[in-house]
Amino acid sequence: MTDPQRYDGRRVLITGAGSGIGQATTLRILREGGRVAAVDISETGLADTLAGSGTDRARLTTSIMDISDEDSVRSGVADAVRLLGGLDTLVNAAGILRSAHFEETSVQEFEQILRINLVGTFLVTRESIAALRAGNDPAVVNFSSTSAAFAHPYMSAYAASKGGIQAMTHALAMEFGKQGIRFNAVQPGSISSGMTDGSGASGQSIGPGLPADADIALFAKAAPALPLPGGAPFAGPDAVAAVVSMLGSSDAYFVTGTEVRVDGGSHM
């Protein structure tokens, strides 16, 4: 099946483009005709994304950017906008997930997750606003999570960061609505990516760095209702990339200030 060409002429900046959903979104939007500036903190990851771009490589540029560092974001966004000649869609896919018992979580660990996920999304969006304001049907897609609204044990810091992103998305949608900039978020759940690799005490793969004594039964409600090939516990990152692609395109011209849950019905 041929991908729709919704991104012909659209200029797109994607963070976290070196792996997982960010990488899948980059490749999806390239297939739909977009020009993409892909940024990530991992040079190896970006090389992998570039290698996977195939015949679309001419419309892809890659660069290193640390979204938790204000100077890196300021220069990185400016370079991306210059190379693209403007900006129409921003996808804030970069983030980290760490798991731990709440009482064993240090202030440094808690702040690191907030700094990268929440503050990083703020920094990239703030530096992109001027270019988006001048863009064509501008749209921002942020990454929340099912953990923002549903209980995910051992992930309190991550849940706090994603809840903040979801709330900020609503506030920005209201603030910039009259200027024509759309803000939406996706809530991935039960998705296989670099952030969900790992196993609990039983060896069952359910997340990164879970405590050795993690109670797997606490994750029973996170099982998707929809069946997956081979009984896999997680869907591929392409499931989210398809939704991000829609929200960042002109197809979603009347959608703003909301979130779309992509979890196979795990949290109905």
pLDDT in tens, the chain (268 residues): 677 899 999 999 999 999 999 999 999 999 999 999 999 999 999 999 999 999 999 999 999 999 999 999 999 999 999 999 999 999 999 999 989 999 999 999 999 999 999 999 999 999 999 999 999 999 999 999 999 999 889 999 999 999 999 999 999 999 999 999 999 999 999 888 765 554 333 333 344 567 888 888 887 777 788 988 888 888 999 999 999 999 999 999 999 999 999 999 988 8
Strand 11-15 with 35-40, pairing: parallel
Task: Please list, residue by residue across 58-94, b when 16 or more beta carbons sit within 10 angstroms of its beta carbon and e when fewer do.
Answer: ebbbbbebbbbbeebbeebbeebbeebeebbbbbbbb
pLDDT at site 88: 98
Say how many CA atoms lie within 13 Å of 232 toward its Cβ.
10
Q: Which of 228, 227, 221, 258 is nearest to 243 (CA)?
A: 258
pLDDT at site 203: 34
Quote the CA–CA distance of 133 and 154 in Å, as a whole number: 39
Q: Which of 222, 203, 223 is nearest to 214 (CA)?
A: 203
Type of residue numbered 157: A
pLDDT at site 199: 37
- Classify residue 182 by its DSSP letter: E
pLDDT at site 92: 98
pLDDT at site 206: 40
Which residue(s) pair with 182 in the sheet?
A: 139
Quote the CA–CA distance of 76 and 59 in Å, as a whole number: 18
Query: Does 158 participate in catalysis according to the annotation?
Result: yes
Catalytic residue among 7, 154, 158, 253: 158
Quote the CA–CA distance of 155 and 137 in Å, as a whole number: 36
In order of their start, the domains of the chain are 11-260 (3.40.50.720)
